[in-house]
Structure 1
Amino acid sequence: MGNVQQLLIASEQLYSHLTNLPDDKDRDAFIEKIDTLLDARGAIIDDLQVNEPDALNNHPLLKNLIELDKGIQERLLKVKNLIKADMQQLQTTKTSEQKYTNPYASVRTMDGMYYDRKK
């Protein structure tokens, strides 16, 4: 099997993995799987660029690879936005928890101090 076919298979695996977004509890395993699939796909692409730099030019599978790559990029962007939203929600939760435990932390007053300018 050629490197182009391996690239197509790796891209299809990544694309199919990205179709179903997991629940919050399964997200870590989902991201790890994405990472391993991206690493495998990147290794195949690097091998293609080094050993067969012109292998993709006018290849019959090139159109399929381009479509898969666009779909992969869109779905990775969705995953990134989900993670970003979770991080913002976590930051909001932290802030509100800190305000609940110490509601006067943001108030800057000098209670009980007297400052005399005259000497």
Structure 2
Amino acid sequence: MSFVLQCHELTKQLKDLLEGQEERDSKIESIEVLLSKREQLLPSITPPYSLEEQRMGREIVLWNKQIDQKLAGLKIDIKRDMNGVNKTKTTVQKYTNPYESVQTDGMFYDKRN
């Protein structure tokens, strides 16, 4: 099996995984495994390429653009969830101790003679 074909298969698996409706944590773990396998395989791909390998290479490049977009969307979803968790933590903390962040600026003492 040629390295281009192996890379094509890994890229297809990665694309299909990102399009699937799996749980996010298991999806991220699978993505990391596939990306590391593909990363190890890429230096092994060297010219000359047959016509079939050139076709697969063009398909890989096209899929990579789609994969990048889906990974960016996944990153945005994760950031949104993290911001929501941080906001919830702050709200809970303010609820349990409402006088923790009271500012003391503007205090003065009225001195009567």
TM bucket, shorter chain: 0.7 to 0.9
Q: Which residue of 1 aligns with 2:26?
A: 29
Q: 2:71 aligns with which of 76, 83, 95?
A: 76
Residue identity opposite 2:8 in structure 1: L
Among candidates 30, 36, 40, match of residue 39 of structure 1: 36
Higher helix fraction: Structure 1 or Structure 2?
2
Task: Compute the TM-score of the two structures, normalised by the length of structure 2.
Answer: 0.81
- Measured after TM superposition, the shift of residue 62 of structure 1 is 2.0
1:19 deviation in Å? 0.1
Structure 2 unpaired stretches of 5+:
none
Give the percent of matched residue pairs that are identical in Structure 1 and Structure 2: 35
AA matched with 1:8: H
Secondary structure class of the residue paired with 1:61: helix
Number of positions where the alignment pairs a residue of Structure 1 with one of Structure 2: 106
Kindly indicate whether the alpha-carbon contact (under 8 Å) linking 2:8 and 2:57 is maintained by their aligned counterparts in 1: no
| 1:67 pairs with one of 62, 65, 68 | 62
Query: TM-score with structure 1 length normalisation?
Result: 0.78
Note the aligned Cα RMSD (angstroms). Answer: 2.3
Q: Kindly provide the CA deviation profile for residues 4-25 of structure 1, in whole angstroms up to 9, marking residues without a partner as x.
A: 0111000000000000244xxx
CA distance 1:81–1:11, change in 2 (3 Å): same
